[in-house]
Structure 1
């Protein structure tokens, strides 16, 4: 069964968002990450707030890459159920993220995950 239009592209876009997230993390938070590493890394992210933010950015990027990689695999395999699962989880996370912080990067994952979810539902 062929993939609905834009499904594979949306899967690759999700993977690219994850890669971009990692790149942004190391560009934006290079100083706090280096400082934490220089201070022994373990237990160095409680304070200051910038270190804690850097850690969350660093941890979330690979999860976006994983979601994107999974979606790319699912699209290649024609597995619409897996596309629906990935799209649903990322879409829900994005909605919560945008509701909590309206001017956040979650705005980027909202249309991509929404498209994955819509395509998996035949919309």
Structure 2
């Protein structure tokens, strides 16, 4: 496969690419912030109990841990998308959008009454940005 010539590589991203990338970052930050607020007492109890090994039991601690932790890869994907948008790397934006779409679709199916539809929308926007829209 021949690499694209520099003249064929776009120098700027679309507004959709930039907005959808930052929307993914926002979802990651919101996921972490919401989790810390929602599970504040549960997280505090685990920290007071020594933190290390304190999330296996009881179930609310495990839920709090995974809820907050899931925000980090979401945030990472958003930051990678922002960098891809900054370099007009539409292929990477589409790839990120595809992974977020698959994750969001599973999330919507598992938890229909949740915020997963928001990430489903963002993922579709990233896929469209990856297609050059």
Q: TM-score, normalised by structure 1?
A: 0.92
Paired residues, what number? Answer: 123
1:28 aligns with 2:31: no
Equivalent runs, 1:104-119 vs 2, <5 Å: 104-119=114-129
Q: Is the 2:18–2:82 contact (alpha carbons within 8 Å) kept by the matching residues of 1?
A: yes
Runs of 5+ consecutive residues of structure 2 not aligned to the other structure: 1-9
Among 35, 41, 63, the residue aligned to 2:73: 63
Please report the TM-score for the alignment, with normalisation by the length of structure 2. 0.86
**4+ long deviations beyond 3 Å:** none
Select the structure of larger CA radius of gyration. 2
In structure 2, how many angstroms separate the alpha carbons of the residues matched to 1:30 and 1:89? Answer: 30
How big is the alpha-carbon RMSD for the aligned residues of Structure 1 and Structure 2? Answer: 1.3
Q: List per-residue Cα deviations over 1:37-77 (Å, max 9, x = no partner).
A: 11121221222221111001111111111011100000000
Partner SS for 1:65: helix
Aligned-partner Cα distance in 2 for 1:119–1:6? 6
- TM-superposed CA distance for 1:118, in Å, is 2.1
